[in-house]
Amino acid sequence: MSLAEVLAELPALSAGERQQLIRSAMELDDDGLSEADRIVVEGRLAKHLEDPGSNLRLDEMKARLNARFQA
């Protein structure tokens, strides 16, 4: 199937099917986390599990970042 044919079929797909198509296409290029990144993520998850109250709500994190980086 050519790219043009695939694009022509997109409107016939449901929103869920298009989302799955996008996820599947992105996974083809996903090399996953590097070993160093995996170690960082696992370390941060372990710290969170030790102290679940240490997390921030998204709106609070955004406010902190905006306050810190706005010129």
Number of domains in the chain: 2
Is-contact 45 37, C-beta < 8 A? no
**pTM, entire model:** 0.43
**45 and 59 share one domain:** yes
Q: Which residues, in sequence order, are CB contacts of 41 under 8 Å at separation 6+?
A: 33
Query: What are the mean pLDDT values of the chain's consecutive 10-residue runs (71 residues total)?
Result: 91 93 86 89 93 90 93 60
**18 and 39 share one domain:** no
pLDDT value at residue 54: 85
Q: CA-to-CA distance for 3 and 9, rounded, in angstroms?
A: 10
**48 and 26 share one domain:** no
Query: Residue 48's closest CA among 60, 36, 40?
Result: 40
**Domain of 64, in residue numbers:** 35-69
Q: CA-to-CA distance for 37 and 14, rounded, in angstroms?
A: 35
pLDDT value at residue 58: 92
